[in-house]
Chain A
Amino acid sequence: MNEIINIIIAIFIFVGAFLSLVAAFGVIRLPDVYTRNHAASKAATLGVMSVLFGAFLYFYLVEGHFNSRLLLGIVFIFMTSPVAGHLISRAAYNTGVKLWDKSVHDDLKTKVKSKDI
């Protein structure tokens, strides 16, 4: 029983660390602000949530201590991190940061021109 718990906790923490690493590679490798933001806000959110859940499981199942602050942190990051990504992208678009050369579709451009937002 205890070994199974340890393996589950290790899987959660390794998946979280791996997703954070993927987010870091995405920020380095991707071409423009919007794709970088896409990588950073999605992969890092899930990665951090996974690490926090692994830590919560460790303290609850191994140490016998129910730490509600970790659960609150998971909910908090799940709510705020995508909003932060949205606001950064919006600020970048409104200050006129160009899209990648090879992107073909920009719905927001026509909306901004027609003053619809």
Chain B
Amino acid sequence: MRSNNNIILETTMKVVLFIIVLFSVYIFFAGHYYPGGGFIGGLMTSGAIVLLLIAYDIKTVATILPVNYRTMTGIGLLFAIGTSAGSLLFNVPFLTHAFGHIEVPILGDISLHTATLFDLGVYLVVVGVTMTIIQTIGEDE
């Protein structure tokens, strides 16, 4: 732990972090109809984690968010290849996506698209790769 008197940065970070994560989730889900998507959503989420790393140090952030980012990259690639190869089960070409309106009890009629799952894979890969790069450069042991 650093002994610097960083209380202004830490307090602001605690409020601002939630706004950034909320906005990145919004951008991720808005990607189909508005500017956005998995790539900038993932970059913004990793920006929020980098803000945590600026305020605290790597060990503290690893206790707050116990995530192995290399595994996260692998899971993201699995999402992408699984969504693409899943279309082969329905006897259609690779990377064919399905789309439909589905009635959900509370939310009502929502349009779901399997491209969102592909985008979730992109999101996880972007967060994983960015955080792996930054943490590898950042640690000096």
Contacts and interface: CB of A to CB of B under 8 A. Distances in A.
B16 A79 contact: yes
A72 interface: yes
B30 to A, nearest CB: 10
Interface residues of B, number: 8
A75 B19 CA distance: 10
B52 to A, nearest CB: 15
B63 interface: no
Contacts of B19: 72, 75-76
A86 B5 contact: no
A interface SS class: helix
B interface SS class: helix
Contacts of B15: 79
Nearest to A80: B16
Interface residues of A, number: 10
Contacts, number: 18
A61 B74 CA distance: 47
Contacts of A87: 8-9
Interface string B55-96: 000000000000000000000000000000000000000000
A83 interface: yes
Interface in B1-27: 5, 8-9, 12, 15-16, 19, 23
Given A72-B19, A76-B19, A83 B8 contact: yes
Interface of A: 69, 72, 75-76, 79-80, 83, 86-87, 117
14 contacts: A72-B23, A75-B19, A76-B16, A76-B19, A79-B12, A79-B15, A79-B16, A83-B8, A83-B9, A83-B12, A86-B8, A87-B8, A87-B9, A117-B5
